[in-house]
Amino acid sequence: MTLFKLSLKNMHQSLKDYAIYFFTLILGVAIFYIFNAMDSQTIMIEATSSKREMIELTVQVMSVLSVFVSFVLGFLIIYASQFLIKRRKKEFAIYMLLGMSKAKISRVLLLETLSIGLVSLIAGLGIGVVLSQGMSVVVASLFEVPMTGFRFVFSLSATLKTFTYFSIMYILVMIFNTITVNRCRLIELLQARSKSEPLKLKNPWLCILVFGVACILLAQAYHQVAYEPLAGFIVQDIFRLMAQGGIATFLVFWSLSGLILRAGMHLKGFYYHHLNSFILREIDAKINTMVFSMTIICLMLFMTVTVLASCLSLKDATTKELATYFPVDAQLSSDQPVARMLEDASFDLNQFSSYMSTTTYYGDHLQRRDLLGSYASEAYRQYTFVGLDYSVQIISVSDYNALSAYFHHEPIQLADHEYAISCNYETMVHFYNIALSRGNQLTIGKTSLVPAYTTCLDSFIHPSPQTINEGLLIVPDHCVAELNVMDYMLTANYQANTDSQREAIDQQLNTLAHDLKDQQIYLFVDSKIETYASSIGLGTMLTFIGIYLGIVFLISSAAILALKQLSDCSDNKQRYVILRKIGTDEKWISRAILKQTAIIFGFPLLIAMIHSYFGIRFILRLFAYNGQIGLSSSIYMTALFLIMIYGGYFVITYLSSRMILKEDR
């Protein structure tokens, strides 16, 4: 009981030290519960079967992802607990001088950890339960399904999972704390706060040189990901650029840690104004000792902003683009005439409000290399995945124009000796345009064709989410008589007014396709409602993953920065005592603490934001979006998370730093 009272008293007296620790634990518990309670919240939404499947898949992915998140949060909690041990080494030394054994000190820490864990679990779960009530609204909004009503939901499974994972984390913290205390020697505990890092001034010319090299590396990486053609980009290039960016970021922090103080010292009016000389030396010392950790924090912030903004943008873009890239209810394809196949299977064609049959072809010897002509070998050198031996899909101009009316494309006119290429895939458009501008000739049967246009047509004939058309050859009608059939297609709109009616027709067609498959007859059904559900589901799942990981990375990076700042304040407290003894105004000291905290938090965030601008551009280009669709709303959402979490840690760090530096005044 005596040890328990002592642990409670210690927690009360060290509340300023535990503020960041409590905030991190409570936030971690709340976030963990919210994202694991999704399955309970979905009972309030009314989804179609296809969307329900995607929601269930998202819940499963969140559950698996929580294992990784638990490792990240576990590492963070252990790191934070080690900071608290360091802060209290002198206190432990006093206990040992008074005759307390290391075993009893370990038991005090054990009781404190249990108390902190219990309080944080209760508070975090309480906050998580309250905030999770809005999760059903978020799920319904992102999956675009109506809600059947609101009811208060408590997830027992999420509670048990949260309790289990965090209990394991606290047990690990207890083990690490016990090991740390048992390894400590009395002399080390007494001298813990007397050690200080010497101030080392780096060669300014070397720092300038390193900074220049870092800028060159970053400029090269930025230009390649944001402006150079994606032709030739492979996975190894992405990892190479990520490594190059990481090295350049480290060099930026290393060089600036030697330039900030030097630059300030040359600006005499600024350097000797108020406490600027003291602030610059403190910042220089901090950055010098945490170059590597600041690099890691900056990269984590970069990942947070990029993942959050990109996932939200891609989801928004996918939703908006579906109306453009899937303007009909369904498209069916087979190696036999589809309309006749449906009639033979007793399918009522009157369920279609309108439909049209078209055919695509391929030539025995016509390949992609023929579309590129003399440019084929050069294209292959630039992009080894160009696939020169791929067969070319061909359509007659009359069928193309008929589909254009359905897909809201402009019709085209071709003379008997002309052809056109439809393509919207950036890499292939680049190659085809060069071949078309050179007047590349094609021969189909006995007919020689020349380009009717010098650039590709931005269109498609197969509806799908964000359709990628890698190349479609459009030829005069008389040319297709000599070609082999590739696909018979039927493009249709349903005689239906609601999603449930459309889903019923989809079900009939899918059942028919399954029955025909047993007869070795293949019918492929692409429906708008199923494609829409899967696309929205995939985009939403990516959004949840982005938000989940983004928040966890944000908590981790902000918590590490906060703990480092508080640790430095504790170590350098004597310097502030000296400032007060020489008559420094308390208002100046508070401003000095605020400026230091703002720079330590703002410096890695600023560089991360620059990285993220180019990272987001690259991801949107990689997914064939123009980089602007839905970007503004995603940036606002990302900024909101930064303000709430990163800004919250900044405020708590500043207030805690002031409290630490006011001790024993």
- Of the pLDDT bands very low, low, confident and very high (cuts 50, 70, 90), residue 400 is very high
User: What CA–CA distance (Å, rounded) separates 245 from 613?
Assistant: 13
User: What CA–CA distance (Å, rounded) separates 129 from 119?
Assistant: 15
Helix extents (H) in 416-475 = 426-437
Question: How confident is the model over 193-208, as a mean pLDDT?
Answer: 64
Give me the amino acid identity at 429. V
Question: 286-309 in b/e burial notation, b at 16+ Cβ within 10 A?
Answer: bbbebbeebbbbbbbbbbbbbbbb
User: What CA–CA distance (Å, rounded) separates 34 from 38?
Assistant: 7
Matching residue, tokens 């008589």? 481
Q: Pick from 16-25, 198-207, 434-443, 568-577 the range whose average pLDDT is largest.
A: 434-443
**Mean pLDDT (the chain, rounded):** 78
Higher pLDDT: 377 or 259? It is 377
Question: How confident is the model over 234-251, as a mean pLDDT?
Answer: 81
User: What CA–CA distance (Å, rounded) separates 112 from 119?
Assistant: 11
Phi-psi region of 586 (alpha: psi -120 to 50; beta: other; left: phi over 0): alpha
Neighbours of 606 (CB within 10 A): 13
User: What CA–CA distance (Å, rounded) separates 153 from 561?
Assistant: 36
User: What CA–CA distance (Å, rounded) separates 36 from 55?
Assistant: 13
pLDDT, tens digit, for every residue of 1-20? Answer: 565 565 556 555 555 556 77
pLDDT, tens digit, for every residue of 314-348? Answer: 666 666 667 677 788 888 999 888 888 888 888 88
- Of the pLDDT bands very low, low, confident and very high (cuts 50, 70, 90), residue 425 is confident
Least confident of 112-121, 132-141, 191-200, 619-628: 191-200
H or E element at residue 632: helix 631-641
In the prediction, which pLDDT does 216 show? 92
In the prediction, which pLDDT does 627 show? 40
Contact yes or no for 349/495 (Cβ under 8 A): no
Matching residue, tokens 């990628």? 468
Q: Whole-model pTM?
A: 0.69
* Spans of all domains in the chain: 1-195, 330-495
